[in-house]
Amino acid sequence: VTAISTDPQPTYGPQTVAVTQAALATYRQIAQRGGWGTLPTTLRLSKGQRGADVARLKRRLAIEGDLSPAEAAGDLFDDATFAAVQRFQRRVGLLPSGLVAAATLRQLNIPAETRVRALEKSLERLADSRFAFGQRYVIVNIPAAAAEAIEGGIVRRRHVVIVGKQAHASPMVESRLTVVNFNPTWTIPTSIIKRDIIPRMRRNPATLANMRVRILDRSGNEVSPAAIDWSTERAVNYTLRQDAGPGNSLGRVRIDMPNTEAVFMHDTPSRGLFQSDSRSLSSGCVRVADVSDFVTWLLAPQGFTREQVVE
């Protein structure tokens, strides 16, 4: 699993509006002073290197406060610069390698004006929030692709997650986590039936059998895939349900959170995806790494132990 922030302060808490307002004021000042320019996109900088590009990198890091002004002088990629790069990478949701290359450069080169607009949009969304901060709550930071388990105002656990891809972005929702389902079945949403299942069945009629997906009519009776005309979209009139067990798209756990967007949190059999820096890969729901530890934290007030969760 890729590394994420270890900051004990929640991404979202009662103080978030004030913090965002202060950040917006700071970034507006940076933008008014001309921003921070750009670094060549072909750069590859690492600890021990010297040169004009390193000097530019250090000035860039100092503007946002990842490197102190006192340590920003000179053209040596020293220990302080290495730590500053890691600090920046954690802030933007990248693996904190300390190496400055493609993904880090893309984030460094995002204009200050773009950061200002993002903060303005964040404040607009926060103004509509009616979230009731309790003693224990969970936040999914969609841009950072991370989930935070918060208790007593402190992040007790932070988990790498996979969120919606750009075409099917995870929506902003506020809800209660109500039910933890172990070894769940998966009822395939209509949108995925149209977009994915029907085209795949046209190419390979064995697709649903290979996925261990059953087709049920409105009375709950099982229907043979051969009885459906896959050249049409009539399959959306049926329930397509994947059996629980190995290979199930929801993995071992589904965590329900009632909302109008029909999204939820769940495990996944494709755990290798958690290694990626870019984790906008789902159809809108949130897949959670180390889900057994997350569920153990969720169910701790009910007396559940990790042994009970993973058995």
Query: What gap in Å lies between CA 290 and CA 276, rounded to an integer?
Result: 15
pLDDT digits 0-9 by tens, 146-204: 999 999 999 999 999 999 998 889 999 999 999 999 999 999 999 999 999 999 999 99
| Residue pair 86/110 in contact by the 8 Å Cβ criterion | no
Which pLDDT score, from 0 to 100, does residue 181 have?
Answer: 96
Residue 55: CB partners within 8 Å, gap ≥ 6? Answer: 74, 75
DSSP assignment of 218-240, as one string?
Answer: TTS-EE-GGGS-TTTTGGGGSEE
Give the residue-averaged pLDDT of 301-310: 92
Query: What gap in Å lies between CA 9 and CA 148, rounded to an integer?
Result: 10
Local confidence band at 7 (pLDDT 50, 70, 90 cut-offs): confident
pLDDT at 113 over 90: yes
pLDDT at 27 over 90: yes
Q: Are strands 154-164 and 280-282 parallel, antiparallel or unpaired?
A: parallel
Q: Are strands 213-216 and 239-242 parallel, antiparallel or unpaired?
A: antiparallel
Give the residue-averaged pLDDT of 209-223: 97
Report the mean per-residue pLDDT for the chain: 94
| Residue pair 241/213 in contact by the 8 Å Cβ criterion | yes
**DSSP code for 194:** I
pLDDT at 215 over 90: yes
pLDDT at 304 over 90: yes
DSSP assignment of 195-216, as one string?
Answer: IIIHHHHHH-TTHHHHHTEEEE
Give the residue-averaged pLDDT of 75-102: 93
pLDDT at 3 over 70: no
Per the annotation, the verdict on 96 as an active-site residue is: no
Active-site residue (options: 56, 115, 158, 266): 266
What is the edge-to-edge ordering of all strands in the sheet holding 213-216?
186-187, 239-242, 213-216, 222-223
Active-site residue (options: 213, 253, 285, 289): 285
Query: What gap in Å lies between CA 206 and CA 106, rounded to an integer?
Result: 42
| Residue pair 61/44 in contact by the 8 Å Cβ criterion | no
Query: What gap in Å lies between CA 240 and CA 189, rounded to an integer?
Result: 8
What helix, strand, coil percent values describe the chain, rounded to 5? Answer: 40, 20, 45
Lowest mean per-residue pLDDT among 32-41, 80-89, 269-278: 269-278
| Residue pair 130/121 in contact by the 8 Å Cβ criterion | no
3-state SS of 67-92 is CCHHHCCCCECCHHHHHHHHHHHHHC
Q: How many CB atoms lie within 10 A of CB 263?
A: 21
Per the annotation, the verdict on 285 as an active-site residue is: yes
In this prediction the pTM is 0.78
Which pLDDT score, from 0 to 100, does residue 311 have?
Answer: 73
Name the H helices within 3-141: 16-32, 52-63, 79-91, 102-108, 112-127
CA distances from 246 to 57, 181, 265, 270 (A): 47, 15, 18, 11
pLDDT at 90 over 90: no
Query: What gap in Å lies between CA 52 and CA 68, rounded to an integer?
Result: 19
pLDDT at 4 over 80: no
pLDDT at 292 over 90: yes
Which pLDDT score, from 0 to 100, does residue 13 have?
Answer: 92
pLDDT at 276 over 90: no
